[in-house]
Every structure is written in structure tokens, then in C-alpha cells.
């Protein structure tokens, strides 16, 4: 028992020590994993890496460089003498200077999958993944190289830098880009350095000097030698000395690291003595690099960067995005059909018409549709005026359309001359007169331009027909001279304005336009003027774009109409008006149709038709109140807002083709505030005010369009500012939900 008791007591004292050592060892392992073996920070991000080569050996003997980059633009460039040094660049360039990434993505090159690279990744627990063969777009380092090389070339070409210094310039440019707020959505207005590290970057090293700027530096020379000497600034020496230590290039051509340097002032550069010294410095540097007999050329700074897979170089023009679900490959989705853009042909641009998709030997369309325009690979056939047919990609056509149109989608063309005219059958004759409304029976010629079309030739060699009223408004002098030359000045549509235009010619010349917005096309797509023309375009293109737009609009407007039963007469007091469809094309080529009433055919209402809107100051005050009281700010939009209000005017119309064959030709009462009626705006505002009133809101005395009601909490009031169909609300979520439940089905 004595021996067993001693073993028991010894085990009891040993176990706590074993547990304690075991726990300490686990904690050390976790710390090593979080900080790395050398104390480097672990970065919760993915880096992409690749190697680029230069045919020009750098001043330090480097022939290539390894780039590490994230998807939000942070990049680290490490020059190398050989591509086999990629593993050491990963360790010394990325891990020691930046941190340890969780994941690194490269191609299948051996230097980035085996050897030192693989060992460093395993030692630091870095996940390794690779791209597929012949798919460089999967590696974002490809795009990073392209943008970095462009930046480097601009720097060196602008400053006449010897190409041997590409290594210093590339490292400096990469560091500079890390401290710039690049236009990437992932950055949210911040710099890549701040997004990666969480710290505000220190830019003091980048403020005082520019690339290859002439500077003064001080060299300890024995008396009476001059200590202040000229050199060129070539970057920041991060691993030499303390802060604000820079690389400079003296007349010897061998880079030096110095802290005590001073920029050559503009006043000094303006003197001839300093200019001569700078020229002498540049000459000695070029002699060091063996360039004394080479004059700088425009392309002397294209350093012929290349990679071993250079056949794919600079092909990637986008950040790789995972392909989305494929759109059905049917001609009904070809929104580019029958567009008429100016496409490149030879040395210029010519008007062409998109006639269809290109097809392979089996009759299948070439290319795939993608919701992302960058990944849209469809190919189209474009027919020029001379019958020549060429192939163009969807992206090339869309790019040509956006370049040639303004912000509203209209194409502006330069006026050349008027080459023709046409008088239609319904044009008014010379006998058309009207009677003075003040009781005088003296006939006066009616002022109209109806029934005349004018043919205009444009600077691009094309011609088109336009209504007389549009041409008169845009080119009055040219049209007046054409009318006189062709004996049209006595026609009813011309004689009331031609003489006055010619008399004021010298005053109007300065205001004459030379550009004309073609209203017949938008984004290169023909805009129909009637429902029949819209349906004809669909039949011609074998699509349903305009038909779908009409059906969508009429479905939303169905509530605004009341069809009369057969044999039932129109109620007393109702007036017939004409309604029509207005067509438009959005920026993404989506077709839009809007059914509007001919409000010009009704008499002005006796009541006020003005519809007020919330003032800008009221909106700002509401924003301030929301911020001070910690309220949620919400916004809402009401679809087809006017149609929620009853019509104030008694009008009816005759159903057209847009109503369908079942109702076409039947009389229909307009019972809602249809767009185009004079009182629709006021009717909608009154209806919205009544709705808010029933919800407990009250109008403000300072601004009638600011509505409020007592809050259910002790935080004050809830304000609701309204502007027609656009509403801003600084209130709590539960109040908004309550309002939605209280008026469920009232608005859409």
C-alpha cells in the first residue's frame, strides 16, 4: 500500500502539470497560426499572383517581376532576376512586408506550384488554387499587370526616364496605386491599403517628390568640394534607414538611399545654369546605361513587358465575373435587330443596318447572351448602304450606339443642306382661312406647317425626311432660302414666316443650329409614332418588344376605363377626346409605352389645376430631424400614381388597337386621372392628401406638402414629406408597416 499510495500521489501532482503544458502548447499553436512564424499579420483575403517579364534588364539586374494583387486593387510588386525566385518573392515581398494571405490563386507555372513557393505556402497555412489551362481571365493579376504597365509607361514617357529604371518605377507606381481611391465598388471610396490593413495610409512619403524629379542631395565631400549635388528621385527606400528615406539616381548611375534631399525649386529650374546642370546630369546617366547615342523616341518607353503566355496578353478587358444564367437563345431576345448605328468600316464610319444574327454551318446563332454586357458574345450581321455585309459583336454595336448618342439617347448629326420637299394630300390649301375671334369678319391666313416634309442631307452623307415644323425650328434660315429658291414662299405653310426669317437673317445667323437631334431614332433604334407602326416593327424584326410594352401599359391602365354596354349612350356632359400611345426607349434598350389623353382638346377646368410639391428646404429639414432623433429614413415610389385618383373631367374616347380586337372601336369612359388630362396632377395630390389624412397625418402650416402625426413613442413627431408620386419618410419601420397595412391595396 505504501508503494501504491506514493504512485497515486505522484500521478495527482503530475497530471495538472501535463494539462497546463498541453494547454499552453495549444495556445502557442493558435498564436503562431494567427501571426505566422515570423510575426506577420494574417490577412483575411485572397491574393492573385503572376509573373511578368521585360526584355530590358533593369539597372539592378532584374529581368522579371512578381505581382501580388487582391480583387479590390491592393498590389505588391517584387522585381526578380529569375522566374524561379517567385517563392522568395512570396516570402520576402508579400509575407514580410504585407502579411500572410489566407488564399493565393495562380496559374499552373511550376515556380508557383512546386519548390520554394509550395513550401512557403504549407509553412504559413496558405491555401493554394490554380486557374484552368488557357484561361488567363481567371487570374486577376492579368488585369492588374495591364493597368500597372500603362501607369508605368505614362510616368517614364512623361519624364524621359531611361528604360533600365523600370523596376524602381514599377515598385513606386504599385505603392502609389495602393494609396489612391480607385473607382472600384469594393473600395467604397477608400484606398486599397486601408481596406486591406484597416489603417489610414501614411502618404507623407508620396507628397513632396514626384517620379524622376530633379533633387538636391548632400554628399560628405572634403573641403572645398561642393557638397550639394544634383540627382533624380526614383522612389522610396522602405527597407533602408528610417522614415522618409528615398532612392536617388546620381550622375554615376548607381542608385543611392538618402534621407537629406531637397527638391529643385521652380525658380532654380528657370535659371540657365541649373538647366545646364540637369542636362549634364541626364547625359551622364544615359552614358552610364549606354544610351548616349540614342535620342528619346515616342515609343522608347514601351518596355516590351511580356509573359510566357503573351499570346493572351492584354486580351482581358474586364474583371472576371462568374457567368450568370444563360438567356434563351431565341431571335425574340435580339433587341439590336434593325438598329442603324454608324459602324467602323475602313478608315471611317458608315451607316449600317443590323439585319440578323450570324449563324454557323448548322444554322445555330453564334455566341451566347449574358445579362452582363461584357460577357455577351453574340455576333450580328450589319448591312451597309452599298449592300456589303460585315460581322460585328454585340459589344461593338452597343459601344458605337452609346458613343454617338447624347444623355437622352438621341443621335446628333451635323447639318449639310436641304435637298428636297414633299407636300402631302392633307396639307391645307391656299383657300383655308379663319375668322377673327373678336368678331371681325376679315379673313386671315391660318398659320400652319401641317402636311409638309423636308429632306435633309447630313455631313455623314446620309439623308432623311423630317416634318416641316422641326426643320423650321432648327434651321430657319436654310429652309427660308430653300423655299425662295424653289418657289415655295407663296405656299400657305411658308409665306407667313419666310419673309420675316430672311429679313432677320443677319441677326439670326449667330443662333442658327448646326446639330439636329434625330427624334425618329433613339440609341439607334427606330421609335414608332403609332401602335400600328410599333406592331409592324415587331413583325419585321420577329420580336415582341413593342407588343409587350403596350400590353404592360394597358394592363396597368385598365382601371382607368369603363366600357359601355352595347346600345348604351354616352352620359350627358361627357366630351370626346383623342388618346394615343407615346413610345420611348430606355438606356438598356428596354421598350417603354405610355398611354396618354389629349388634354389639349378639353376646356380649362374652373377649379385650380396646380399641384404643389414639397420644397427643397423642407426635405433638408426632414433629413436633419431624422438625423437628430435617430430615425430611419425611407423612400417610396408609387407606380402609375395618377391612376389612383378619380378623374375630375368628364371625357371619353374610342378604343384603339391597343385595347385589343375585343374592344377596338367601342366608346370608353375615362374614370381615372389619366396622364395628359389638365386636372390629373391636382386630382392625384388631393387623393394622396385624403389618404394621408385618414392615416392620422396632418399637413404642416409651414409647408402644406409636409405631413406629420404624433409618434407612438416619446421621441417626438414623425414627419412624412410628400412630392407627388415620390415620398420621403423619416419614421420608424413599424409605423411604415402600419401605414401599409392600413391602406393595403391603395397604392402599388
Structure confidence by residue, pLDDT tens digits, 369-412? 766 666 778 888 888 877 788 888 887 777 776 666 655 555 55
Of 264-273, 378-387, 436-445, 478-487, give the lowest mean pLDDT range. Answer: 436-445
Q: What percent of the chain has pLDDT over 70?
A: 74
pLDDT in tens, 567-600: 788 888 888 888 888 888 887 778 888 888 888 8
pLDDT of residue 235: 93
By CB atoms closer than 10 A (0-12, 13-18, 19+), residue 317 is exposed
pLDDT of residue 48: 94
- What is the CATH code for 331-404? 2.30.30
Cα separation, 643 vs 553, whole angstroms: 12
Beta strands 717-723 and 42-54: pairing type?
A: unpaired
Element (H, E) at 417: strand 411-423
Cα separation, 63 vs 85, whole angstroms: 11
Element (H, E) at 344: strand 342-345
Beta strands 64-69 and 42-54: pairing type?
A: antiparallel
Cα separation, 465 vs 419, whole angstroms: 10
193-202: which pairs have CB atoms within 8 A and are 24 or more residues apart? Answer: 193/74, 195/72, 195/74, 196/43, 196/45, 196/70, 196/72, 196/74, 196/98
Cα-based distances in Å from 713 to 274, 629, 708, 710, 716: 75, 12, 14, 9, 7
Across 673-685, average pLDDT: 83
Of 105-109, 231-235, 350-354, 732-736, give the lowest mean pLDDT range. Answer: 732-736
pLDDT of residue 192: 92
pLDDT of residue 241: 83
Cell triple for 623: 433629413
Residue 477: which residues within 8 A CB-CB, separation 6 or more? 501, 502, 505, 508, 509, 512
The residue written with cell numbers 410599333 in the block is 534
pLDDT of residue 175: 93
Mean pLDDT of the chain: 76
Across 290-319, average pLDDT: 44
Helix (H, G, I), strand (E, B) or coil at 433: strand
Task: Band the pLDDT of 418: cuts 50, 70, 90.
Answer: confident
Cα separation, 472 vs 504, whole angstroms: 14
Most confident of 58-62, 136-140, 308-312: 58-62
- Of residues 28 and 181, more confidence is placed in 181
DSSP 211: T
Q: Where are the beta strands (DSSP E) in 27-99?
A: 42-54, 64-69, 75-80
Cα separation, 316 vs 375, whole angstroms: 11
On the question of pLDDT at 508 being above 60, the answer is: no
Beta strands 100-106 and 42-54: pairing type?
A: parallel
Dihedral (Cα; 361, 365, 368, 373), 10-degree rounding: 130
Q: In 131-218, which residue ranges form alpha helices assigned H by DSSP?
A: 141-159, 166-177, 192-197, 204-207
Q: Are 217 and 260 in contact (CB under 8 A)?
A: yes
pLDDT of residue 590: 82
Cα separation, 530 vs 580, whole angstroms: 8
Q: Are 270 and 278 in contact (CB under 8 A)?
A: no
pLDDT in tens, 510-562: 444 444 455 677 777 788 888 888 888 888 878 888 888 888 888 888 888 88
What's the maximum distance between 2 C-alpha atoms anywhere in the chain? 143
pLDDT in tens, 323-366: 333 333 434 446 666 667 777 777 667 778 787 888 887 778 88
Cα separation, 339 vs 540, whole angstroms: 12
pLDDT of residue 347: 67
pLDDT of residue 332: 40
Task: Band the pLDDT of 485: cuts 50, 70, 90.
Answer: confident
Listed by start position, the domains of the chain span: 1-35, 42-197, 331-404, 411-518, 554-742
Task: Band the pLDDT of 317: cuts 50, 70, 90.
Answer: very low
Across 602-608, average pLDDT: 71
pLDDT of residue 257: 92
Cα-based distances in Å from 186 to 180, 182, 371: 14, 10, 21
On the question of pLDDT at 660 being above 50, the answer is: yes
pTM summary value: 0.42
On the question of pLDDT at 687 being above 50, the answer is: yes
On the question of pLDDT at 111 being above 50, the answer is: yes
Q: Are 658 and 550 in contact (CB under 8 A)?
A: yes
The residue written with cell numbers 500597372 in the block is 148
pLDDT of residue 402: 65
Task: Band the pLDDT of 28: cuts 50, 70, 90.
Answer: low
pLDDT of residue 256: 92
Cα separation, 235 vs 175, whole angstroms: 10
pLDDT of residue 116: 92
On the question of pLDDT at 6 being above 50, the answer is: no
pLDDT in tens, 214-258: 999 988 777 666 678 899 999 999 888 888 899 999 998 899 999
pLDDT of residue 233: 94
pLDDT of residue 81: 92
- What is the CATH code for 42-197? 3.30.420.10
Amino acid at each position: 500500500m505504501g508503494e501504491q499510495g506514493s504512485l497515486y500521489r505522484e500521478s495527482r501532482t503530475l497530471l495538472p502539470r501535463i494539462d497546463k503544458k498541453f494547454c499552453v502548447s495549444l495556445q502557442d499553436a493558435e498564436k503562431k497560426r494567427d501571426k505566422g512564424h515570423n510575426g506577420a499579420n494574417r490577412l483575411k483575403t485572397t491574393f492573385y499572383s503572376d509573373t511578368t517579364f521585360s526584355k530590358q534588364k533593369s539597372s539592378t539586374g532584374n529581368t522579371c517581376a512578381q505581382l501580388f494583387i487582391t480583387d479590390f486593387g491592393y498590389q505588391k510588386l517584387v522585381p526578380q532576376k529569375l522566374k524561379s525566385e517567385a517563392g522568395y518573392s512570396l516570402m520576402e515581398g508579400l509575407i514580410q512586408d504585407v502579411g500572410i494571405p489566407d488564399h493565393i490563386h495562380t496559374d499552373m507555372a511550376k515556380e508557383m506550384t512546386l519548390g520554394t513557393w509550395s513550401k512557403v505556402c504549407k509553412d504559413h497555412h496558405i491555401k493554394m488554387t490554380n486557374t484552368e489551362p488557357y484561361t488567363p481571365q481567371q487570374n486577376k493579376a492579368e488585369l492588374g499587370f495591364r493597368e500597372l504597365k500603362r501607369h508605368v509607361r505614362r510616368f517614364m514617357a512623361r519624364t524621359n526616364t531611361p528604360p533600365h529604371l523600370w523596376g524602381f518605377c514599377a515598385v513606386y507606381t504599385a505603392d502609389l496605386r495602393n494609396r489612391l481611391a480607385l473607382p472600384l465598388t469594393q473600395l467604397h471610396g477608400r484606398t486599397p491599403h486601408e481596406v486591406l490593413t484597416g489603417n489610414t495610409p501614411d502618404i507623407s512619403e508620396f507628397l513632396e517628390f514626384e517620379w524622376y524629379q530633379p533633387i538636391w542631395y548632400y554628399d560628405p565631400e572634403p573641403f572645398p568640394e561642393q557638397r550639394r549635388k544634383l540627382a533624380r528621385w526614383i522612389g522610396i527606400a522602405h527597407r533602408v534607414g528610417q522614415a522618409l528615406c528615398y532612392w536617388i539616381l546620381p550622375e554615376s548611375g548607381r542608385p543611392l538611399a538618402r534621407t537629406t534631399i531637397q527638391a529643385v525649386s521652380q525658380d532654380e529650374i528657370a535659371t540657365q545654369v541649373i538647366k545646364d546642370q540637369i542636362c549634364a546630369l541626364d547625359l551622364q546617366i544615359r552614358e552610364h546605361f549606354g544610351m548616349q547615342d540614342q535620342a528619346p523616341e515616342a515609343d522608347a518607353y514601351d518596355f516590351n513587358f511580356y509573359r510566357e503566355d503573351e499570346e493572351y496578353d492584354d486580351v482581358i478587358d474586364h474583371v472576371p465575373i462568374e457567368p450568370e444564367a444563360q438567356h434563351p437563345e431565341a431571335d425574340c431576345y435580339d433587341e439590336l435587330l434593325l438598329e442603324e448605328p454608324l459602324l467602323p468600316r475602313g478608315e471611317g464610319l458608315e451607316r449600317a443596318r443590323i439585319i440578323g444574327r450570324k449563324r454557323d454551318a448548322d444554322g445555330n446563332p453564334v455566341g451566347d447572351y449574358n445579362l452582363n454586357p461584357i460577357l455577351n458574345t453574340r455576333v450580328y450581321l450589319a448591312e451597309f448602304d452599298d449592300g456589303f455585309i460585315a460581322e460585328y459583336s454585340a459589344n461593338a454595336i452597343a459601344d458605337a450606339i452609346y458613343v454617338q448618342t447624347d444623355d437622352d439617347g438621341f443621335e446628333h448629326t451635323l447639318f449639310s443642306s436641304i435637298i428636297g420637299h414633299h407636300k402631302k394630300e392633307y396639307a391645307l390649301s391656299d383657300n383655308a382661312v379663319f375668322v377673327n375671334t373678336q368678331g371681325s369678319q376679315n379673313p386671315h391666313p391660318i398659320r400652319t406647317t401641317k402636311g409638309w416634309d423636308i429632306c435633309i442631307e447630313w455631313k455623314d452623307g446620309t439623308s432623311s425626311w423630317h416634318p416641316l415644323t422641326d426643320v423650321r425650328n432648327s434651321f430657319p434660315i436654310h429652309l427660308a432660302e430653300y423655299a425662295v429658291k424653289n418657289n415655295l414662299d407663296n405656299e400657305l405653310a411658308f409665306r407667313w414666316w419666310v419673309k420675316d426669317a430672311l429679313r432677320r437673317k443677319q441677326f439670326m445667323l449667330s443662333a442658327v443650329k448646326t446639330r439636329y437631334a434625330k427624334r425618329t431614332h433613339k440609341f439607334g433604334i427606330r421609335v414608332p409614332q403609332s401602335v400600328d407602326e410599333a406592331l409592324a416593327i415587331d413583325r419585321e424584326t420577329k420580336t415582341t418588344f413593342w407588343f409587350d410594352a403596350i400590353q404592360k401599359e394597358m394592363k396597368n391602365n385598365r382601371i382607368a376605363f369603363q366600357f359601355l354596354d352595347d346600345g348604351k349612350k354616352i352620359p350627358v356632359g361627357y366630351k370626346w377626346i383623342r388618346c394615343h400611345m407615346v413610345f420611348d426607349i430606355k438606356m438598356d434598350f428596354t421598350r417603354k409605352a405610355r398611354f396618354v389623353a389629349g388634354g389639349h382638346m378639353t376646356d380649362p377646368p374652373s377649379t385650380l389645376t396646380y399641384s404643389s410639391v414639397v420644397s427643397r428646404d423642407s426635405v433638408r429639414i426632414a433629413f436633419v430631424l431624422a438625423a437628430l432623433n435617430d430615425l430611419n429614413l425611407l423612400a417610396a415610389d408609387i407606380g402609375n400614381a395618377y391612376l389612383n385618383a378619380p378623374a375630375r373631367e368628364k371625357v371619353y374616347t374610342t378604343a384603339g388597337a391597343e385595347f385589343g380586337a375585343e374592344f377596338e372601336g367601342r366608346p370608353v369612359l375615362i374614370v381615372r386621372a389619366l396622364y395628359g388630362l389638365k386636372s390629373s396632377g391636382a386630382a392625384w395630390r388631393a387623393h394622396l392628401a385624403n389618404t394621408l389624412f385618414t392615416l392620422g397625418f396632418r399637413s404642416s402650416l409651414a409647408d402644406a406638402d409636409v405631413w406629420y402625426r404624433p409618434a407612438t413613442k416619446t421621441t417626438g413627431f414623425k414627419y412624412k414629406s410628400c412630392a407627388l408620386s415620390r415620398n420621403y419618410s423619416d419614421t420608424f419601420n413599424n409605423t411604415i408597416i402600419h401605414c401599409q397595412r392600413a391602406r393595403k391595396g391603395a397604392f402599388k
